[in-house]
Structure 1
Amino acid sequence: MLYATTPAAEKRRALRERLASGELLRFPGAFNPLSARLIERKGFDGVYISGAVLSADLGLPDIGLTTLTEVAGRGEQIARMTELPAIIDADTGFGEPMNVARTIQTLEDAGLAGTHIEDQINPKRCGHLDGKQVVDQDTAIKRIRAAADARRDPNFLIMARTDIRAVEGLDAAKDRAKALVDAGADAIFPEAMRTLDEFAAMRDAVDVPILANMTEFGKSELFSVDQLRSVGVNIVIWPVSLLRIAMGSASRALDTLIDEGHLTSKLGEMQHRADLYELIDYEAYNHFDAGVFNFQIAR
């Protein structure tokens, strides 16, 4: 009812504990608070909040146009709706090192369990597009050092994302990852790895958890959880998948509405009203008002 009961600090502590175990954690991407609750209900380990999804939700391309206020606000809405830890995409940190420091404390206050800061220049672009540019190593290190120095909860996860693989190759990615760990990164997000061998190489390069981004239509093959586990990956995200599926279904439904004038043929694809009410815990609100949930819905 209302929001999650697990405090943010406890979510962070539990995430750190599970990462320390070496197991692989599955973090589907939530495109709104309700989808985060569904991710929890289905038994996943955490919720991922994608910058690309936040941008798309506003009708914007993923080129760094969103603000810290927008990202933190949406992150808070999603994180407070689930007992699971939520990791959010903070792009390049929204500015210079001091801005990065403010970003970290703002995301802590919003109840997030962690975030990642990347080494692209501004304006950035989606990590699986060609033509990316990255900052020099000194700038990348300053971002991560500022993030690590700014956090107040030591369990808040500071992850460094590096996009340098697509620009300078795998060896450069390994070297940068090592430098970012030395700067204070708790985990590494090596973007746009192409093969399992590349993930294995990144696993061998650093002694902190690594994340695999299984985004569709990108540079990486869509490896299974078992395949990623076999090369030592610790977190796997599907950042935009649920949004893509939802928008694809919405588009097809609109086509049906145009062609048939009604959506009767789509009823079997819809979430039933009863399932929605169960997901939002409608009945529990009777704790405050016995007149709120006094009806039955036939399935």
Structure 2
Amino acid sequence: MAHADRTSPPLSEQIRQAHAGRAPILLPGVYDALSARLAAAAGFDAIYVTGAGLANSRLGVPDIGLTSVDQLADHVAAISDAVDVPLVVDGDTGFGNAVNVRHAVRKLERAGAAAIQLEDQVFPKKCGHFAGKAVIPLDEMRGKLQSALDSRRSEETLIVARTDAGATNGLDEAIERALAYRELGADVIFVEAPTSVDELRRVAAEVDAPLVANMVEGGSTPMVPLDELGEMGFSIALYANAALRTAQRAVTHAYAELREHGSSATLTDVMATWQERQEAVGKPHYDELEARYAS
């Protein structure tokens, strides 16, 4: 397995190249430090810290705004300490108003975020592919984004502006908001949950910015291959919870087998070996450190 602590190019440069060359970044979602190590070892040059993954894996609750900024910052810090790969962090709504956004951006930047995603839903938010969403007024979101832009300590920290207005107010307003957020200075634009290939194409044609396409298996948006998204004009293809959902199925199977057979013997062919487990969490590196500092 490759080392998880390799250094990737700066995220701003990755996005610039993706936008210029129509070769999208394939962005995997991670839900803890171990999944981040595995993503880095697989060769991804940037990873996405999913808010839904935090809610699901840490609290065992749905993505309906039940996590706190402190929980998210601690989560990001642990992941940042485990890998040397740029982190795109799902900051939900910024956990309140424009002043809360300032606090969240500062905390997440210190924790290791290379990019912070903020959305225009009413707080508390819901998963972008759930029913019953609502969005705040455009002017209020402008204020929150301006606060985020003013609050970051480094201009290398990118602000990803997401709009959920398509589901509530229609695609025309979603595009209007996307253009307004870009004009304000957002580095990346994320129009959540287009419902057809035609809507994806329209977003890409009308919004001149680095764009996120969120590929949610079973969600509102059709699954489109990476090369086709690049041809449309998207710079990032996000698979926020593919790994978590795969892990959920595997863990469910493991517990069912263990319960039925009273042994893990039927699982040895599908589980990581002892050595693979230790390599995944960097034990050889810690062995080297122990040897170096031994008296």
Match of 1:182 in 2: 183
Of residues 6, 13, 16 in structure 1, which corresponds to 2:12? 16
SS in 1 for 2:101: helix
How far did residue 234 of structure 1 move? 0.6
Residue correspondence of structure 1 range 187-266 to structure 2 within 5 A: 187-266=188-267
SS in 2 for 1:286: helix
- The AA in structure 2 aligned to 1:48 is Y
CA distance in structure 1 between the aligned counterparts of 2:141 and 2:61, rounded to whole angstroms: 26
CA distance in structure 2 between the aligned counterparts of 1:132 and 1:284, rounded to whole angstroms: 46
The Cα offsets for residues 268-291 of structure 1, whole Å up to 9 and x where unpaired, read as 111111112222232222333339
Identity %: 36
Match of 1:51 in 2: 51
CA distance in structure 2 between the aligned counterparts of 1:42 and 1:288, rounded to whole angstroms: 24
How far did residue 123 of structure 1 move? 2.2
Residue correspondence of structure 1 range 80-99 to structure 2 within 5 A: 80-99=81-100
Contact 1:72–1:107 (CA under 8 A) maintained in structure 2? yes
Match of 1:38 in 2: 38
SS in 1 for 2:92: coil
The Cα offsets for residues 230-273 of structure 1, whole Å up to 9 and x where unpaired, read as 21111111111111111111111111112222121111111111
Contact 2:162–2:189 (CA under 8 A) maintained in structure 1? yes
CA distance in structure 2 between the aligned counterparts of 1:100 and 1:116, rounded to whole angstroms: 11
Structure 1 segments, 4+ long, off by >3 Å, are 2-6
CA distance in structure 1 between the aligned counterparts of 2:4 and 2:25, rounded to whole angstroms: 23
How far did residue 194 of structure 1 move? 1.8
How far did residue 4 of structure 1 move? 4.2
- The AA in structure 2 aligned to 1:277 is Q
Match of 1:132 in 2: 133
Residue correspondence of structure 1 range 58-77 to structure 2 within 5 A: 58-77=59-78
Unaligned stretches of 5+ residues in structure 1:
293-299
CA distance in structure 2 between the aligned counterparts of 1:271 and 1:123, rounded to whole angstroms: 38
CA distance in structure 1 between the aligned counterparts of 2:276 and 2:94, rounded to whole angstroms: 38
Contact 2:47–2:88 (CA under 8 A) maintained in structure 1? yes
Match of 1:154 in 2: 155
Higher RCO (Cα < 8 Å, 6 or more apart): 2
- The AA in structure 2 aligned to 1:134 is V
TM-score (norm 2): 0.92
Contact 1:3–1:80 (CA under 8 A) maintained in structure 2? no
CA distance in structure 1 between the aligned counterparts of 2:118 and 2:158, rounded to whole angstroms: 11
Contact 1:196–1:231 (CA under 8 A) maintained in structure 2? no
Number of aligned positions between the proteins? 286
How far did residue 86 of structure 1 move? 0.7
Change (3 A) 1:228 1:5: closer
How far did residue 3 of structure 1 move? 8.7
- The AA in structure 1 aligned to 2:46 is G
Contact 1:117–1:160 (CA under 8 A) maintained in structure 2? yes
Match of 1:279 in 2: 280
